Amino acid sequence: MKLEDVRREYLRGGLKREDLAEDPITQFEAWLKQAIDAEIQDPTAMTVATVNANGQPSQRIVLLKQVNQKGFVFYTNYESRKAKEIEANPLVSLHFPWHMLERQVKICGRAERVSTAESLKYFLSRPEESQLAAWASEQSRPVSSRQVLMQQFNAIKNKFSKGEIPLPDFWGGYRVVPSSIEFWQGGANRLHDRFEYQRQDDNSWEIERLAP
């Protein structure tokens, strides 16, 4: 197989300035709804990119759990690699790859912890097995085998078998407050449509078209 021959045209339609909402969150919510309605797999899946102390970028996929005018929220272990890198450098990037719709959204901004009350509310909404997994997994740390991981899970399950599972003090959410949001729509002949919203000092947004 020749990788240079793997290609396709993007023909689902263009994106015009007049089609865009003046507010990027409104625009994002519209695109997200269309992604959900199209029944694409994991429409809320997004890549989170962080950078360590040596300048080495790292990426992983998480699920978006809330979006509003404040920003984009996901949850994680606060002792994980991503969380440690965020604590050292809160500037992050998010990426939504909606291939089926020939769309991408890229968000750059600053990550900040959500309140404990917000984390607790979401934690209690999770299935019990997911709550137990948050306790059992020492995220990003080496584990010798899956058997050891399951032993930890079963030990936690037994520990909390007779009561409500509490919120771990090492687990919670981050909200990414956006400084820029780019909307990408595939176009024929690689002439894609890209529009970037840039937050201004007065919190208004300026929109400009970018070359593909």
Parallel, antiparallel or unpaired: strands 91-98 and 45-51 = antiparallel
User: Is 8 assigned a catalytic role?
Assistant: no
CB–CB of 195/209 below 8 Å? yes
Strand, coil or helix: what is 150? Answer: helix
Question: 103, 190, 194, 209: which is the annotated catalytic residue?
Answer: 190
What is this structure's pTM?
Answer: 0.93
- Res 93: pLDDT: 98
pLDDT tens digits, one per residue of 142-189: 888 999 999 999 999 999 998 899 999 999 999 999 999 999 999 989
- Res 138: pLDDT: 84
Strand, coil or helix: what is 36? Answer: helix
pLDDT band for position 8 (cuts 50, 70, 90) = confident
What distance in Å separates the CA atoms of residue 165 and residue 149, rounded to the nearest whole number?
A: 19
pLDDT tens digits, one per residue of 41-55: 999 999 999 999 999
